[in-house]
Each structure stands twice: as structure tokens, then as C-alpha cells.
């Protein structure tokens, strides 16, 4: 029975995916990030070697600085550049490394206390790297008018890193060329401060417009795939020097093979069951699972955070749950699931929509950032109920005003789980 349900839900999930793509939603293709990450990795390796370093045997301080002036008008580009950073760290950082995040426009700006924006990669590299995305800035500077000054930011950050010969500075931006609003004064490449910086740091050459490397990505939309591009500008000390990596080399740690669990030798009945499903059994099972002809009810349950809801009790087409910060009492009889660290207001609502569960963001300043492994820039998303992937983490990110009106960036994750069986 479990195998039949898994196959039925797999077929349903395929159908739901197609419907989602046709709904007009724009979505970043995370896989399209990989080629740019590989190019950036190669360029950084070559730059460190040219500066007399050995990245394979030496620790590194990865300093990733995000140009945020375009974040408001280009949310897909903002999502893409953060995904580039996350994948780059996952592909390159090892035990002993440090990761630091900074934000910049016409110069650097503090979106959070800088002392909390450096992560040490310890004895659990996979766990540390999994949390690195929490460092990245998600909003533009307060009062931003757009634009960025690449050279001024490079001078500021290399001065901050003057006593760190193991640092690698990577400026991530929508365009490497400095762009200022009307009346803004740009530092320029001929400025004495910038020229003095180049006596101690190498700016890695690449494209004609000043980038070290282009970082292409793809967005899926109802009209087809849409290409996009970010850029990276890399600075490396003229003499790269750092402590040795403890234990194995960088290459050995990053290429560590995964342990493969033993396979079961039980008879393979999937082909026969698949045939039954394709002849009509799959439709019947799905019909029973999701409550028959009524479109509501069904077997099993879903858990949102620590609260469980029986599928048979969920109304179709209406919210059955509100996600909110502690202290929110709710309106009407819709249950409220608390999410710690969020303001006392509705953050999102969950709606039964036929065979799907839809989550919709409600807060003006807190957005649905990702669903499972996929980055989202929409206010709502479908959550497939699948036995093969029963747990779907939802990440909410945004900025709220703290004490004294100071902006405070928040990021919280709640997991939606599908529970099989009668509940």
C-alpha cells in the first residue's frame, strides 16, 4: 500500500508542477547558478596561485560583499546573487575557513552588527555551510536611491582587511562598473586612494567592463526561460598567506565521497504496480487519498511547525491556518501557528486547494524567500504532498523596525510535513 501511495503522489506531483509553471510565477533556476560558481572558483584559485598562495593547503577568509542598490527593482537578481554566494561557499569552504558578509552601495553600509556577520567553519563544515545564507543582506540600504561605487567600496573593505593576507574579497553586483544617482560623486579608478590600494591588492581582470567574471543565471516564466546575469569583482592580496588547513587538504575535504546505504534485496514490484496505476489504480488511490469526489478531507495529515492538521478536516479553498509571530491572537476561528522571532502579526496563511496546499505571504515587510530547495520571489507557492519528500521547509525573510526605529533583518524557517495514514 505504501508503494502504491508513493507512486500515486509522484504522478500527482508531476501534474501540480506543470500547473505551477503555467500560473505565471517567475522562479529562479538554482541549477543555472552552477556554471558561474565553477568559473568564479577557477578564477579565485588562479589568482591565489599568482599571489604565491596554495589554496589547496591554506585556510581562506571569504569576504563576500553584496551590492544592494538594485535589490528593490530587481528581486530576482537579488535572489540570484545570494544563491551564487551560497553555492560558492558550499563548493569551496572547508574547516578552518572564515566567511564574512558585507553590503554596499555608494560605500559599505551596516545592515546588521558587523561582528555577527562572520562565520567560522568548524569541525562540522556541512552544518556550518548550511547556515551561511543567513549572513547575506536581503534589503537595500534605508533611503537607497540605487547605484553603487565599486572602487570606493574596494578601498573601504581592503582597508578593513589590511592585516588579513589570507582574505579573498568578492564584490557581487549587477554590474561591475560604478553607477551613481544624479549628482553623486564616484571615486574612479584614477583616485589616489584607489591606486594606493592596488599596491597591496590585485584586482582580477576579466571582462571589458571591469568584472572578473560574469555570473549567468536563468529564470523560469510562463513564456519560457529568461536569462539574467550578475558580475563578480575579485580582489586578492598581492602576497597571499594563511595558516595551513588542519587535517586533509581542501581538495580532499571537498571531494569526500558520501556513504551509500546498503540496498534492499526485496523483490522489485514497482513495474507491476506502475502498470496497475497507469490502468486506473493511480487515479483511484489519489481520489481516496484526497477525500474522494468532495475535494476535501482525505487520509493522513500535515504538520506546520508543531501543529498537526488532519486532511479530512481541511476546508477546500479557505485558509485553515495562520502563521504569525508570538502574541498575535488572530481573528475569527482560524487556528494560529506561532513562529518565534517574528512580529506579532500574520506572516502567512495556508489554504487547501484541491490536491495541493498553498502558502501565501501576508506581511508587507516579510516575504516568502524559499520553498524547499527552490528560491521563490512570489507571494505564494504550492506545496506538493509527497511521500518521497514529506518535509518542505519554508523560509521567510524580511526587515522590521527594532527599538528606536533601527532596521532589523530577520530570517525564520518553518517546516511543513506530510504525515501518511489515518489521523
287-292: long-range contacts at Cβ-Cβ below 8 A with a sequence spacing of 24 or more? 289/5, 289/8, 289/9, 290/354, 290/355
Asked if residue 298 is part of any domain, the answer here is: yes
Which domain range does residue 372 map to?
A: 286-419
**Whether residue 327 sits in one domain with residue 241:** no
**Whether residue 311 sits in one domain with residue 220:** no
Asked if residue 184 is part of any domain, the answer here is: yes
For residues 383 and 118, the model is more confident at 118
**Whether residue 311 sits in one domain with residue 185:** no
Task: State residue 333's pLDDT score.
Answer: 81
Task: State residue 40's pLDDT score.
Answer: 97
**Whether residue 145 sits in one domain with residue 79:** yes
381 CB burial (10 A radius; 0-12, 13-18, 19+): buried
Asked if residue 8 is part of any domain, the answer here is: no
**Whether residue 409 sits in one domain with residue 320:** yes
In tens, the pLDDT along 333-354 reads 889 999 888 888 899 999 988 7
> In the predicted model, what is the mean pLDDT of residues 370-384?
76
Asked if residue 23 is part of any domain, the answer here is: no
* Adjacent-strand bridge partners of 201: 237
Asked if residue 4 is part of any domain, the answer here is: no
- Residue 207 in grid coordinates: 571582462
For residues 300 and 212, the model is more confident at 212
- Residue 177 in grid coordinates: 562598473
> In the predicted model, what is the mean pLDDT of residues 303-328?
87
**Whether residue 166 sits in one domain with residue 36:** yes
Residue 213 predicted with pLDDT over 50: yes
**Whether residue 130 sits in one domain with residue 85:** yes
In 233-309, which residue ranges form alpha helices assigned H by DSSP? Answer: 250-254, 270-276, 282-289
* Adjacent-strand bridge partners of 338: 324
**High-pLDDT (> 70) share of the chain, %:** 80
Task: State residue 415's pLDDT score.
Answer: 87
Asked if residue 261 is part of any domain, the answer here is: no
Asked if residue 389 is part of any domain, the answer here is: yes
Residue 312 predicted with pLDDT over 90: no
Domain count of the chain? 2
**Whether residue 156 sits in one domain with residue 70:** yes
Packing angle, helices 282-289 and 2-21, rounded to 10: 80
**Whether residue 308 sits in one domain with residue 242:** no
| pLDDT band, residue 259 (cuts 50/70/90) | very low
Task: State residue 400's pLDDT score.
Answer: 77
167-173 vs 61-67, strand pairing mode:
parallel
Of 254, 277, 306, the one marking the end of a domain is: 254
> In the predicted model, what is the mean pLDDT of residues 382-402?
78
Q: Which of 22-36, 168-182, 252-266, 400-414 has the highest mean pLDDT?
A: 168-182
Sign of CA dihedral 100, 106, 112, 115: positive
This model's pTM is above 0.75: no
**Whether residue 313 sits in one domain with residue 172:** no
Task: State residue 299's pLDDT score.
Answer: 61
Task: State residue 239's pLDDT score.
Answer: 97
**Whether residue 188 sits in one domain with residue 230:** yes
**Whether residue 249 sits in one domain with residue 290:** no
- Residue 142 in grid coordinates: 534605508
Task: State residue 84's pLDDT score.
Answer: 96
Task: State residue 17's pLDDT score.
Answer: 35
Amino acid at each position: 500500500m505504501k508503494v502504491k501511495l508513493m507512486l500515486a503522489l509522484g504522478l500527482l506531483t508531476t501534474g501540480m508542477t506543470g500547473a505551477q509553471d503555467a500560473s505565471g510565477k517567475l522562479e529562479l533556476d538554482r541549477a543555472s547558478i552552477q556554471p558561474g560558481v565553477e568559473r568564479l572558483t577557477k578564477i579565485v584559485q588562479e589568482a591565489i596561485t599568482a599571489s604565491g598562495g596554495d589554496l589547496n593547503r591554506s585556510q581562506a577568509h571569504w569576504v563576500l560583499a553584496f551590492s544592494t542598490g538594485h535589490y528593490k527593482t530587481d528581486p530576482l537578481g537579488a535572489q540570484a546573487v545570494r544563491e551564487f554566494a551560497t553555492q560558492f561557499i558550499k563548493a569551496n569552504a572547508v574547516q578552518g575557513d572564515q566567511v564574512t558578509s558585507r553590503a554596499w552601495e555608494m560605500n559599505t553600509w551596516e545592515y546588521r552588527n558587523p561582528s555577527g556577520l562572520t562565520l567560522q567553519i568548524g569541525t562540522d563544515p556541512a552544518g556550518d555551510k548550511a547556515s551561511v545564507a543567513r549572513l547575506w543582506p536581503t534589503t537595500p540600504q534605508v533611503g537607497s536611491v540605487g547605484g553603487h561605487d565599486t572602487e570606493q567600496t574596494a578601498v573601504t573593505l581592503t582597508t578593513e582587511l589590511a592585516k588579513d593576507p589570507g582574505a579573498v574579497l568578492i564584490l557581487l553586483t549587477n554590474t561591475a562598473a560604478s553607477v551613481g544617482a544624479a549628482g553623486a560623486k564616484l571615486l574612479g579608478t584614477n583616485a589616489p586612494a584607489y591606486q594606493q590600494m592596488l599596491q597591496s591588492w590585485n584586482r582580477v581582470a576579466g571582462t571589458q567592463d571591469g568584472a572578473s567574471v560574469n555570473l549567468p543565471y536563468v529564470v523560469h516564466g510562463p513564456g519560457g526561460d529568461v536569462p539574467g546575469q550578475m558580475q563578480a569583482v575579485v580582489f586578492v592580496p598581492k602576497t597571499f598567506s594563511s595558516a595551513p588547513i588542519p587535517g586533509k587538504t581542501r581538495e580532499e575535504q571537498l571531494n569526500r565521497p558520501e556513504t551509500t546505504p546498503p540496498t534492499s534485496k526485496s523483490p522489485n514490484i514497482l513495474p507491476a504496480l506502475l502498470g496497475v496505476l497507469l490502468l486506473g489504480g493511480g487515479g483511484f488511490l489519489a481520489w481516496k487519498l484526497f477525500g474522494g469526489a468532495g475535494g476535501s478531507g482525505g487520509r493522513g495529515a500535515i504538520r506546520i511547525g508543531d501543529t498537526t492538521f488532519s486532511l479530512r478536516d481541511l476546508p477546500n479553498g479557505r485558509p485553515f491556518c495562520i502563521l504569525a509571530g508570538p502574541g498575535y491572537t488572530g481573528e475569527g476561528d482560524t487556528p494560529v501557528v506561532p513562529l518565534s522571532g517574528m512580529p506579532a502579526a500574520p506572516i502567512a496563511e495556508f489554504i487547501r486547494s484541491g490536491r495541493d496546499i498553498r502558502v501565501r505571504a501576508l506581511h508587507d515587510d516579510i516575504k516568502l524567500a524559499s520553498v524547499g530547495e527552490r528560491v521563490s520571489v512570489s507571494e505564494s507557492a504550492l506545496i506538493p504532498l509527497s511521500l518521497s519528500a514529506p518535509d518542505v521547509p519554508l523560509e521567510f525573510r524580511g526587515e522590521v523596525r527594532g527599538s528606536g526605529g533601527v532596521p532589523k533583518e530577520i530570517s525564520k524557517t518553518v517546516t511543513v510535513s506530510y504525515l501518511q495514514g489515518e489521523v
